[in-house]
Structure 1
Amino acid sequence: MSFEQQVLFQRILLPGLASLVGCWLFLSSKSESGGEEDATYPHARWKTLLGCLLIGGSLLVSDFWQRELLWDPMAWTSWTASYRWQWLIWLIPGAVLGLGLLRLFSVSEREQSALVWPALCLFAIGAHYLTIFEPETWPNWLTPMFQAILIGSAASILNMASLHSLVATGASRWTPLVLLAQLGCVAAIAIQSYASLGEWVLTGIGVTLGATCVSFFYSAKSRLFGVWPLAIALYPIVISASICLLSTGYFRSRPLPIGLTGVVLFLPSLVGFLDFVYGRYGRPWYRIVWAAVACIAVLIAVILITEPFQSDW
C-alpha cells in the first residue's frame, strides 16, 4: 500500500466510517425521543455513548496508526507533541465525548442547550490558547499569537452559531456540506504548509463526510443551540478547523493574503449571512445555490492563490 493510500484509508475512510455509524446512532436516538424540546433520553443513552466512543476513538486510532504506534501498546506512552496544535488529537475526541455526556445526563433538551453553549465557548477559547500559544517556539510572535487566539475563538463560536441557524431553519440535510467546504479550503492550505497538520485536517474531513452522508437521509431540525444530534461530532471539528488554519501561519514561507484567510476562517458565517439575507425567504433551492456558490468560489480562490503542492510528504 502506497503512502497516499495509507493516508486515504487511515485519515479519511476510517474516521469517515466511524462517523457514519456514530452519527446514525445520534440521529436514531433523536428520533426515539420524538424530537420534543423537553423530551428525555432513557432509551438513547447507550447510542449516544457508543457513537461518541466510535468517533472519538477513530480519531485517536487514526493518529496512532499513522505514527505506527497503534500495534505496539508499549510505545503508546512515547506519544509526544512536537507542536502544540498536535494536542488537538486529544482535545477533539475529548470534546466529542464531553458533548455526548452533556446530552446523556441532561434531563431535557432545554437543559442540554443551556449547558452546551457556555461549554463550547469555553472550550473554543481554551483550545485556541492551548494549541496556538507557543512562546518557546516562536518568541517573536507573541502579539500575532494573541490576535490569532482572539480572532480564532470568535470565528469558531460564530461559525457554530451560523451552522445552528441553518439547522434551525430547515437546512440540516446540507449544513454539514458547508463545514466540509471550509475543511477543504483549510486542507488545501495546510497540506502545503506542514504535512502532519494537513493529515489532521483530512481526519476532520473524514468525520464530516460521514456526518454528511447520514444527514442526507435523516433530517433533524432543532431550534435550541447544541441540541442538533450531529453537533456532537461536528462542532468540535469547527473549532479544529479554525485552529488548523491559524496554525499554518507558523509554517508557511509566504503568508496568505489576510482577506483570503479571513474568508476561509469565517466561511460558515459567510454562508449563514448570505442565507439570511438572500436565500431564506425565497424558494428552498435558492438557499442551496447561494451556499454552493459561496463555498465553491472560496475553494477556487484558495486553489488559485496558494502555491501548488510539490512534495511526496
Structure 2
Amino acid sequence: MGRQGVLIGLMAALTESTLRMLANAAHPASLDMPNDGVGSDHDSLGLFQMRPSSGWGTVADLMDPTYQVRAFFGGPGGPNYPSPAGLLDIPGWQTADPGSAAQSVERSAFPDRYQDYQPVAEAIIAALTKTPSLGNQNAAPLDTVAETARVVFPLPSGTWVRSSGYGWRDDTMTGRRAFHAGTDYAAADGTPILAIADGVVSWAGPYGQYGQLIVIEHTVDGSRVASAYAHMWDSGVHVSAGERVTAGQHIGDVGASGKSQGAHLHFEIRPGGAFEPSVNAEVWLAEHGAEGVTAATSGQSACLAGPSR
C-alpha cells in the first residue's frame, strides 16, 4: 500500500471509530467479543464501521481488526473481492485526494469528514515510523549525513512565482478544505530544481499523489532535516537513492506528475526527518539564511491561483 495507502486507511478509521474496535448492540454477539467500546450507527462494527448487512462480512469477521484492515484495502487478495470494493479496487486511488479515496471505500453520508483527520493521520505515521529511508532498502545509511556548508533556494532566481502557500486552503482540484503540507512554486516545465543543502537522497521516484518525488536528508545547524521536491516527470529525476548531493546541485526538473494541474515545484521542509511533520518552508529557509530567499520573499507578491498541490 505504501505510505499513501496507510494515510488513507488511518484517515478512514480515525473518522469512523477514532481507531477503536467498536461492538454494537444491534449484534448482541459482538458485545462478548474483544472490543474498545460500543457504537450505535445502524449495524456497523469495528475500526471502519463496516456493516454485515452491506456484505462486508460476518459479525465474527468484522470484530477481527486484521480482517477489517484486509477488507478496507481489498484487492484480488481481499476477503470481499470484487465487492464491496476496497481501496485497491478503486481506480486512481494513489493520486486521488486522500479524503476522497477514503470516501470511495466508506461511502459515507458525510463525505467531507475524512479530510479533517489528515493532520492527525500524518502525525501518527510520523510517531510510529522510525526509519528515515522511506522504505527504500537501497538508500545509504543516513546517520553519516555531514553538516551542510550552505543553504540555498530550490529554484533559480527569476524562474518562478509562488502559487500556493503552506497550511489550510481550498484544494484547487476538489474545492474542499485541505491541509497543504508544502509551498508551491509555478515554473516553466523543465526548470532546474536545486538541492537546498548538502545531504543524502533517501527517495527518488514515484510516490502517490506527489508524482515523481525526491527526498533528501540533511544536517543543518546540528539537526536532521529532510527536504522534499515533488511533481517532476519520470525523465526529470536526476539523482538516485543513496546518492550524496551538494547545496545548489541540479537534482531534477519541474514537471506536473501526480496530483497536479500544471508545471510547478511542490516543496516541503520536515525538521527531524522525512516522516516528521512539515513546517512552513519559506519561514524555515529565511531563518536559515538560504541564498536566494530575498527573491523568494519578493515573489510572494506575484501569487497565482493556478497550479498547486
Q: TM-score, normalised by structure 2?
A: 0.25
TM-score by length of 1: 0.25
Mark the structure with the bigger radius of gyration: 2
Larger RCO (CA under 8 A, 6+ residues apart): 1
User: Which structure has more strand as a fraction of its residues?
Assistant: 2
